[in-house]
């Protein structure tokens, strides 16, 4: 029944790790010859399924056994939940008579994951299983997408029954709104017509909805500047003339000041998270807010919306664009000149001197230049993640894959494996920190076994870099346990797993090593040994206005 469901849902690959409570299911996987990717840790399997979903737009599927196998999925499930990624997790459970007895490898995984799933199920009746499977995929991949978990007791896996897969599901308590309210869309159109300083603030909902073309059309047709969140990158091309970069804690001068001075903020598929808003009382103080989102719970949660529109971003933007065609709007040329003046006069800055210590920003700019921005880039979390967001100009949707909401170290490399399986003809590059990479470096075995040509660029500063930066700025330079002295030789580690490894210590070695790595078959690890005290700037201190940027104006 499980495998028939996966076939009916056009699932092409499963990520997982077997164990006692899923042996019957794995025996069927073996018999049917379904493609299964064996990772070396359940967390790696969850992140790989997540990366697959982000790169392909289709739900990722992950399987784990009961107890520790299931609990090892929790970080990956929470990561997907925070970023609204469709994921179906199937966990084994002890046999039905033993549930609640503290049996060997028993864990209440439905209770554990209730706060981090859209919905979850403990299967108690075999006849319900086809409906549960259908519902799980429906819930995961509709509305505001997210992870769903099915906990399947071991004894039920061994039973047989009549299988009839429902063609569709009707859930009375779950009916996402897709079409925006016409009256609210009309109000939004009128507000845009009257605005003197409009600004588009777009997020991951644009990517999830596939609304990048509509977003670009709205901006281009009315010459409205755009800023996107980390998960919204690729919503407009990184080199688009009206793109201001990322806003917030490590946002650009132009993006943060545009939010501060805007009189109309068009928020599309965003949730106004704290890393963007800074001190809420000072966020967009002059702006009327239009907020478009498929999840009504997000509207008004953090920032009051003057014109709320509940609906699918793509559908709402289509209607909004129709209402704005041939419309008479205010002359916003002075506003554009001001904003683009900030963009040109106060760009992101760093200085790479020949023969000096290697700057991480230079490494990322070279990765962009050499790949032409055509690679799928995954990141872990920390300084390297922010440098990637700042200096890698993301051209297309679903080509920057990063843990935004949960900020999960160890995400990038297994996510790159999932993305490579989803897009076998694409070049996939994982930009990792030396701390983050060690969290799931065992997945080198997975990449080597399946001969996946993922290239890993480790930005190695021998620190938990973002922790060290905060300690420098806010803890008077007391670097409490943020040094990573004693990390392995990453070249030897790669070679021990059967991958290729390179080390770079000087600026003049960067380009030739990247080019060599891209031509080398199979997985490659490049250890870029960068300046250990380089900081991510600009930076906004916690609970301050986003225009109070450390390093926002000076070199």
Parallel, antiparallel, or unpaired: how do β-strands 549-550 and 539-540 relate?
A: antiparallel
Alpha carbon dihedral 257, 263, 264, 270, in 10-degree steps, equals 30
Of the residues 30, 32, 104, 473, only one is catalytic, namely 104
Of the residues 12, 28, 98, 105, only one is catalytic, namely 105
Of the residues 42, 135, 261, 534, only one is catalytic, namely 42
Would you give the distance in Å from CA 200 to the centre of its chain? 20
DSSP per residue over 232-274, as a string? TTTSS-TT-TTB----STT--HHHHHHHHH-SEEEEES----H
Instruction: Strands of 73-127 (E only): list them.
Output: 87-93, 119-122
DSSP per residue over 462-474, as a string? SB-HHHHHHHHHH
**Rounded-to-integer distance, Cα 404 and Cα 30, Å:** 36
- Token match 């009309």: residue? 186
- Token match 């092409």: residue? 12
- Is residue 157 annotated as a catalytic residue, yes or no? no
What are the residues facing 528 on neighbouring strands?
A: 459, 504
Give yes or no for a contact between 309 and 290, defined as CB atoms under 8 angstroms apart: yes
DSSP secondary structure code for residue 58 in this structure:
S
- Is residue 272 annotated as a catalytic residue, yes or no? no
- Token match 């991949």: residue? 141
Q: In three state form, how does the secondary structure of 316-345 look?
A: HHHHHHHHHCCCCCCCCHHHHHHHHHHHHH
Of the residues 233, 439, 466, 539, only one is catalytic, namely 466
Of the residues 134, 145, 154, 314, only one is catalytic, namely 154
Both tokens assigned to 28: 């069927």
**Rounded-to-integer distance, Cα 443 and Cα 446, Å:** 5
- Is residue 298 annotated as a catalytic residue, yes or no? no
**Rounded-to-integer distance, Cα 286 and Cα 499, Å:** 54
What are the residues facing 433 on neighbouring strands?
A: 459
**Rounded-to-integer distance, Cα 458 and Cα 481, Å:** 20
Alpha carbon dihedral 401, 487, 365, 336, in 10-degree steps, equals 60
Give yes or no for a contact between 119 and 110, defined as CB atoms under 8 angstroms apart: no
3-state secondary structure at position 466: helix
Handedness of CA 260, 262, 264, 270 (dihedral sign): negative
Give yes or no for a contact between 59 and 119, defined as CB atoms under 8 angstroms apart: no
Would you give the distance in Å from CA 486 to the centre of its chain? 30
- Is residue 154 annotated as a catalytic residue, yes or no? yes
Question: Which positions ≥6 away from 351 have C-beta within 8 Å?
Answer: 359, 555
Q: Provide the annotated active-site residues.
A: 42, 104-105, 154, 466
């Amino acid at each position: 029944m499980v495998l028939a469901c996966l076939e009916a849902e056009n699932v092409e690959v499963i990520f997982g790790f077997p164990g006692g409570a899923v042996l019957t299911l794995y025996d069927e996987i073996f018999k049917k010859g379904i493609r299964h990717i064996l990772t070396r840790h359940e967390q790696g399997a969850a992140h790989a399924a997540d990366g697959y979903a982000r790169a392909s737009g289709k739900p990722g599927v992950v399987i784990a056994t009961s107890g520790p196998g299931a609990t090892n999925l929790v970080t990956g499930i929470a990561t997907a939940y925070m970023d609204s990624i469709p994921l179906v997790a199937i966990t084994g459970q002890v046999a039905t008579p033993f549930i609640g007895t503290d049996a060997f490898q028993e864990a209440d995984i439905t209770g554990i994951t209730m706060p981090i799933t859209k919905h979850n199920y403990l299967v108690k009746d075999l006849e319900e299983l086809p409906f549960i499977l259908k519902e799980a995929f429906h819930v995961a991949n509709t509305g505001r997408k997210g992870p769903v978990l099915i906990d399947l007791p071991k004894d039920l896996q061994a039973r047989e029954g009549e299988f009839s897969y429902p063609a569709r599901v009707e859930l009375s308590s779950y009916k996402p709104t897709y079409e925006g309210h016409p009256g609210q869309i009309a109000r939004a159109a009128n507000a845009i017509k009257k605005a003197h300083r409009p600004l588009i603030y777009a997020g991951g909902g644009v990517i999830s909805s596939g609304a990048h073309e509509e977003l670009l059309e709205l901006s281009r047709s009315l010459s409205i500047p755009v800023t996107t969140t980390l998960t919204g990158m690729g919503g407009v091309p990184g080199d688009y003339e009206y793109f201001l970069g990322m806003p917030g804690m490590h946002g650009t001068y132009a993006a943060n000041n545009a939010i501060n001075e805007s009189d109309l903020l068009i928020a599309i598929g965003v949730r106004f998270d704290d890393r963007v808003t800074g001190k809420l009382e000072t966020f967009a103080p002059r702006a009327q807010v239009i907020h478009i989102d498929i999840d009504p719970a997000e509207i008004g949660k953090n920032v009051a919306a003057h014109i709320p529109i509940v609906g699918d971003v793509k559908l709402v933007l289509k209607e909004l664009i129709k209402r704005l065609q041939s419309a008479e709007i205010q002359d916003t040329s002075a506003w554009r000149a001001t904003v683009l003046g900030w963009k040109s006069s106060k760009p992101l800055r760093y200085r790479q001197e020949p023969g000096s210590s290697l700057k991480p920003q230079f490494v990322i700019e070279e990765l962009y230049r050499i790949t032409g921005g055509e690679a799928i880039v995954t990141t872990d979390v920390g300084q390297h993640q922010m440098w990637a967001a700042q200096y890698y100009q993301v051209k297309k949707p679903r080509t920057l894959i990063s843990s935004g909401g949960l900020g999960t170290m160890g995400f990038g490399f297994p996510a790159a494996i999932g993305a490579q399986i989803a897009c076998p003809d694409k070049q996939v590059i994982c930009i990792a920190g030396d701390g983050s990479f060690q969290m799931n470096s065992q997945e080198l075995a997975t990449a080597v076994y399946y001969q996946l040509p993922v290239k890993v660029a480790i930005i190695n500063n021998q620190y938990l870099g973002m922790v060290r930066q905060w300690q420098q700025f806010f803890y008077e330079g007391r670097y409490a346990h943020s040094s990573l002295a004693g990390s392995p030789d990453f070249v030897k580690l790669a070679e021990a797993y059967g991958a290729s490894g390179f080390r770079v210590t000087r600026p003049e070695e960067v380009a030739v090593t990247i080019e060599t790595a891209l031509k080398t078959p199979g997985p490659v690890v490049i250890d870029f040994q960068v300046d250990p005290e380089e900081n991510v700037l600009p930076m906004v201190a916690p609970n301050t206005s986003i225009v109070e940027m450390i390093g926002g104006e000076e070199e």
